[in-house]
Structure 1
């Protein structure tokens, strides 16, 4: 059995954040497929035995079970010694961006992708609202990345891995990232160039 087990599914950018961290760090890990679209996370067994919040990802390591992607990233940075802060100021800056990601950057974009790109709802007042909010969050990050390679400067941290959760999916959202947010586009390319980087569908395959 692998040292780390990650409950995940390939469509989940939040799960991808944890999977990418495990892979970039060279951890001995294995994905445990979650049948999200058929309701596994809403079932009593999953909520009773895996995660009471009914969400993926869930990381199992050394008898611990951790949930929430930001917590998992912080934990892995601590145990691997990689992609973490070098001092208290960096720790706070990483936390600032992870909180922003969960509240705005990932939150609006991921919901828009799910409704518009996966469920094919078409244009609705909800998708229009989400797209406007996602553009606002992307604009903040795009401006911050002007003149920077990564969020904290010249090296990637778990803040970058958190915000990168959904940038490699290609479902339509009505947002042209390359045209509208060139600094985000260049940043995503730098993350994809990191040693051991893999696409979410490669890291979290469907069960055979």
Structure 2
């Protein structure tokens, strides 16, 4: 397999993290934002939706979208519950991550992190994202205040999915994570899992 991965992206990172936790190996092709490698991958048709990550299977099939890749990799492992309702709960958190969380937490980080986007980082936009992001993080805080993992009693791809951008929410996106002790304990639990790798690894 080959993973077309944007090294600085939380979406690409969560795929690399799950693969490491599962002990699975694949070649990685770095396609960082605004690079020749990204342009080449697009020109070769390796990125069906025009962005990373994309997992190229051994038979040449291409699977785009980070959460779809997580679901495929987790099939038959402890990271995807067998119980139908639990699986649906996992998917609900993953849909929420892409529909709500990623569009605020990751976007604020992108405005501050990527020089090409800083012209969009107006004080009004940053303030709006900060307020909304704290509201979204409180949703996670409320859930994790009563249980160790987002779904059930073991880590799942729901946790890996939300970890991708939450673990850099303070240093990259400027959110006040001291307000969320349950999230911080959850972040530490994930970082302690066997096979864990960080964003830059």
Query: Is 1:199 equivalent to 2:198 in the alignment?
Result: yes
Matches within 5 A, 1:126-165: 126-165=125-164
Structure-2 residue corresponding to 1:54? 50
CA distance in 2, matches of 1:87, 1:29: 29
Structure-1 residue corresponding to 2:22? 25
Q: Deviations over 1:127-185 (max 9, x none)?
A: 111112211111101101112111013200000000011233364423121x1111111
CA distance in 2, matches of 1:27, 1:101: 24
Query: Is 1:38 equivalent to 2:35 in the alignment?
Result: yes
CA distance in 2, matches of 1:47, 1:72: 22
Structure-2 residue corresponding to 1:107? 103
TM-score (norm 2): 0.89
| CA RMSD in angstroms, aligned pairs only | 1.9
User: Conserved in 2, the CA contact under 8 Å of 1:168 and 1:199?
Assistant: no
Q: Deviations over 1:23-72 (max 9, x none)?
A: 1000022211103233754x485155112311110011222210111100
Q: 1:70 aligns with which of 59, 67, 70?
A: 67
User: Conserved in 2, the CA contact under 8 Å of 1:57 and 1:68?
Assistant: yes
Structure 1 residue ranges without an equivalent (≥5): 203-208
Residues paired across the two proteins, number:
196
TM-score (norm 1): 0.86
User: Conserved in 1, the CA contact under 8 Å of 2:7 and 2:32?
Assistant: no
CA distance in 2, matches of 1:10, 1:71: 19
Structure 2 residue ranges without an equivalent (≥5): none
Q: Deviations over 1:97-153 (max 9, x none)?
A: 000011112221000001023335565211111112211111101101112111013
